[in-house]
Amino acid sequence: MLDIAVSRAFGQHSLRATVSTITAVFQAVSQPPIAKFADVFGRVNAYLACVALYVIGYIIVPSSQNIYAYAAGNSIYILGITGLFLLQNIIISDISSLRSRYFWTIFPSIPGAINVFVAPIIVDSFLSRSLDLWRWGFAMCKCSLLSRVTVLMDSHDHDPYPSHSHHPGPIQGHTT
């Protein structure tokens, strides 16, 4: 339903398929560069960068005035959300035991399972009033995200070892 409202707002329904293809390609090819970024600059910094891309993308999407700005915002959002999912799995793998890893990998997806049933009700309540309110469908949840991200950023300490390869091991620095 939201796609219909977006297509109607811009009057370029044929380009929605192109936007979907572009975002799918971005999602597919962005994981290796994001993983390398996390390796070089640290997981926390990469996570914060992905949150920034996510938020910037979803600021651009509801404020877009044409399909091209919408495509750019959606692509930036896809880079952010893909990185968040990737880094979430990497961080969970780092901090969980092998025995409980499956549970902790699935656990963050529980809100998404609830959202599948709640989001259509909320979107329909907006779009039943006017299809021009589609922008609120994108912007509404991002406002709550900013408050959650602020807590993460406030608790962010400088990562003294941005990569595992730079961590001092038991032998490094030891001279005989």
Percent of the chain with pLDDT over 70: 69
Whether the predicted pLDDT of 140 surpasses 90: no
The count of residues in the chain is 176
Biggest CA pair distance of the chain = 77
pTM of the model: 0.70
CATH number of 2-96+103-154: 1.20.1250.20
Alpha carbon distance 171, 87 (integer Å): 29
Alpha carbon distance 160, 174 (integer Å): 20
Q: How confident is the model at residue 26 (pLDDT cuts 50, 70, 90)?
A: confident
Residue 34: what pLDDT? 94
Asked if 3 and 16 count as a contact pair (C-beta separation under 8 A), the reply is: yes
Asked if 67 and 10 count as a contact pair (C-beta separation under 8 A), the reply is: yes
Q: What residue segments make up the domains of the chain, in order of their start?
A: 2-96+103-154
Residue 170: what pLDDT? 45
pLDDT tens digits, residue range 63-121? 888 888 888 998 999 999 999 999 988 888 888 888 888 888 888 778 778 877 887 78
Task: Give the contacts of 157 (CB within 8 A, at least 6 positions apart).
Answer: none
Which CA distances in Å does 109 have to 2, 62, 86, 106, 146?
22, 25, 13, 6, 19
